[in-house]
Chain A
């Protein structure tokens, strides 16, 4: 799996006069997406992050919506969010944008959404006038959703952190909940056990021990 540079997804959806229902809700499974790196042409998909990283997804639907201030803020928080919350930012821009002009020499990879499938999957449309950002946890579920009435008001870093901190649960997960996926290395140092590999095949009984002192 490719090592991940910072990717920033900013989704700014604009609400139009036509009826719009925000189809995705917190708790739902996040739609899969595939996007292409603007500079390296490499594709990434949401499944790449399963069991590994939380994803903060933001998509710009129109060129004029690209919020350079927001992207700069994301750049400043990249390492901290990775360390504290195991979260990566993924920013998607319209394919029509000359992305090279938007790189800001920051090393932040921007991704194009050539057929607007990501925008469509996450409920956006060109007629929408609403900014939105989704937090997707390691099990592929939507854990946070931010949107505002204005097109240029993405979530603040504090707002993102207030949701990310919840991903580290401080109370036991209730039974009946989707079990967060995990992918860990076995004692032989070679084999990887991934919980989701057994979905549809086997039940899994897990004994969680404490550290040996």
Chain B
């Protein structure tokens, strides 16, 4: 992901959140996100606060949805892309489109 480009051109920082303990997150390796801050959220608090919960349970545990979301400088949720699995992410063009729209305002 072009995190430097996003920061310079679109005034946007990029982060990744994993609903796992810090010990697991610290060993997380993904070539696409290596230089992006990866945050530990063992309680899945962000998934829950943003309503990214599947409508069924697995072994009585909540199941969550992967997502990409854009929050503007005013703290408003401007775009939310919900995926079916981790690899189901919006392509770069779509992300740039939303960033450009936001920046143009």
Contacts and interface: CB of A to CB of B under 8 A. Distances in A.
Contacts of A205: 6, 12-15, 68-71, 95, 99
B97 interface: no
Contacts of A174: 77
Interface in B57-105: 64-80, 82, 85-86, 89, 95, 99, 102
Interface string A169-213: 111111111111110111111010101101111111111111110
B48 A169 contact: yes
Contacts of B69: 179, 205-206, 208
A180 B24 CA distance: 25
A198 B37 CA distance: 14
Interface string B2-34: 000011001111111111101011101000010
Contact of A172 (B22, B80, B102): B80
A203 B18 contact: no
A165 B52 CA distance: 15
B75 A208 contact: no
B71 A172 contact: no
Contacts, number: 179
A55 to B, nearest CB: 15
A177 B76 CA distance: 6
Which residue among B6, B13, B75, B82 has the maximum number of chain A CB atoms within 10 Å of its CB? B75
B77 A176 contact: yes
Nearest to B27: A187
A203 B71 contact: yes
Interface residues of B, number: 59
A2 interface: no
Contacts of A178: 75-77
Contacts of B89: 207
A210 B85 contact: yes
B12 A202 contact: yes
Contacts of B50: 169, 172-173, 179-180, 208
A107 B37 CA distance: 40
A98 to B, nearest CB: 39
A206 B83 CA distance: 13
B66 A184 contact: no
A177 B68 CA distance: 16
Contacts of B52: 172, 208
A129 interface: no
A187 B28 contact: yes
A212 B37 contact: no
Top 7 A-B pairs ranked by shortest CB distance? A169-B51, A184-B39, A180-B49, A203-B12, A179-B71, A172-B51, A179-B77
Interface of A: 86, 138-139, 167-182, 184-189, 191, 193, 195-196, 198-212
